[in-house]
C-alpha cells in the first residue's frame, strides 16, 4: 500500500492510498481514525474524482462519527473504572 496524496483540511489528516489497483481514504484526528475502502472502481483512480467524493458533507459526517467514537470511549472508560472500583475490597477499619 502506498500513499498517493493528501487532501488539505485544518483539523483532519486525510490520506489517499492505493494498493493493487484499489483505493482507500483514511481520515485521522488526534485520537481516532476512519478508513473508507473504495475498491477497484476505476472512477477512483482519478484524483479529481477522489477530491469530489471527499466533499464538505462527507467531512462533516466523518467528524460526527469521531465525536460518537469519543463518547463511546468515554462511556466505556467510565464503566471500566466503575467495575474496577467495585471489585476493590478493603479491610474494614473500625
pLDDT one-digit tens code per residue, 2-45 = 999 999 999 999 999 999 889 999 999 999 999 999 988 888 88
- Name the pTM for this structure: 0.84
pLDDT given at position 87: 74
28 DSSP β-pair partners: 13, 33
Half-sphere exposure of 81 (CA within 13 A, CB side): 6
CB 47 within 8 A of CB 5: yes
pLDDT given at position 84: 81
Amino acid at each position: 500500500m502506498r500513499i498517493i496524496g493528501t487532501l488539505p483540511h485544518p483539523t483532519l489528516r486525510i490520506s489517499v492510498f492505493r494498493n493493487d489497483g484499489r483505493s482507500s481514504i483514511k481520515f485521522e484526528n488526534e485520537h481516532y481514525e476512519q478508513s473508507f475502502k473504495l475498491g477497484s472502481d476505476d472512477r477512483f483512480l482519478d484524483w479529481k474524482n477522489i477530491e469530489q467524493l471527499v466533499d464538505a458533507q462527507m467531512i462533516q459526517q466523518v467528524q460526527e462519527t469521531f465525536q460518537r467514537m469519543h463518547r463511546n470511549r468515554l462511556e466505556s472508560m467510565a464503566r471500566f473504572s466503575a467495575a474496577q472500583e467495585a471489585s476493590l475490597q478493603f479491610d474494614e477499619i473500625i
